[in-house]
Amino acid sequence: MWHAFIFFLSIQVHLIRAVCKPRGELVLENLALRQQVSALSLGRHKPKFHDADRAFWVALRRSWSGWANRLVIVKPETVVDWQRRRFRRFWTRISKQRGRPGRPRIDAEIRELIGQMVRENHWGTPRIFSELKKLGFTASETTVSRYVQRLRRPNPDPDLVRRWIAFLRNHRGAIASMDPPCQQPR
C-alpha cells in the first residue's frame, strides 16, 4: 500500500517539476517547507511524523535532488533510515507470508493414500501417480516418488542402534587412534 502511495507521490512531484520547470524548484521547496510547518504546528516539542509524512519525504528524496537542503526538523539520514526500515519491513512481511520454505507439503489424505497403495499393492511410483490422478488428486510424480522411497526405507532395529551407539561410546578413544591417515608407498 505504501509502495503505491510513494510511487504516486513521486509521480506528482515529477509532474510538478515538468509543468513548472523554471518554478519547479520553488514549488517543491514550498511543498517541503509547508510539510515541515504542518508537522511542527501540532504543538509538540518534538514533532511526530506519521506514515504519510514519512512517505512524503521518501518520495521527495527519490525525485528531487535538493530535498536534503530544505529538510530542517530531522536529519537527512533519518529519512534514509525510514526508507531502509520500510524496505526491510516489506520484505520481512513478504517472506513470512509463505510459512515454510520450499514446495508446500501435500495433504495428509494423499500421503495416507500413497502409504496404503505401497503397503497393499507394492506398486511403483508411476502406477501410484496414475492412480492418484484417476482419483482426482494432484501431486507431481517426483513428490509421489519421494514419499514412496520414504515408506519403503526399512526402519533400523532400535536394539541394534543402541548397541552400536554403546560400542562407539565405549571405544571412542581407541577408534580415533585406529584410523591413521593412509600414505601411499613410493
Q: How far apart are the first and last CA of the chain?
A: 72
114: number of Cβ within 10 Å? 27
CA nearest neighbour of 132 among 103, 107, 105: 107
pLDDT above 90 as % of the chain: 13
The distance between the two most distant Cα atoms of the chain, rounded to a whole number of Å, is 89
130 has pLDDT over 90: yes
pLDDT for 14: 74
pTM to 2 decimal places = 0.42
pLDDT for 9: 81
